[in-house]
Amino acid sequence: MKRSAARPAAKKGPPARAKLYLTYPKALVKEPLIYRMSREFDLVFNVRSASVSEEIGIIALELDGPEAEIARAIGWFRDRGVIVEPIEKNVIE
């Protein structure tokens, strides 16, 4: 099996962390979007909690990496129909 080309180098920048809630609508619940995001962007992710049913998925996700790369990943999720909201309070630690 042929491997795909290496992804471009991540944009340099100061390290950042985003704590987000991802809300998947019914049509996306079975899609492996976090896996796909991890292949597309040079970020470290940590699923802190998740509640997934046939109707909806709600995931608390941390992303670590350059701020610009985090912003690109957030846009990527939104472009696919995922609702992305910042976690205001530190409720998952």
Domain that holds residue 71: 15-86
- Report if residue 9 sits inside a domain: no
- Report if residue 66 sits inside a domain: yes
- What's the pTM value of the predicted model, to 2 decimals? 0.79
Q: Which CATH number belongs to the domain containing residue 43 in this structure?
A: 3.30.70.260
pLDDT band at 14 (very low <50, low <70, confident <90, very high): confident
- Report if residue 26 sits inside a domain: yes
Please tell me the distance from the alpha carbon of residue 75 to that of residue 3, in angstroms, as a whole number: 26
DSSP 7: P
What is the number of domains present in the chain? 1
pLDDT band at 6 (very low <50, low <70, confident <90, very high): very low
pLDDT digits (tens, 9 = 90+) for 20-61: 999 999 999 999 999 999 999 999 999 999 999 999 999 999
- Report if residue 38 sits inside a domain: yes
| Chain mean pLDDT for the chain | 87
Please tell me the distance from the alpha carbon of residue 84 to that of residue 77, in angstroms, as a whole number: 7
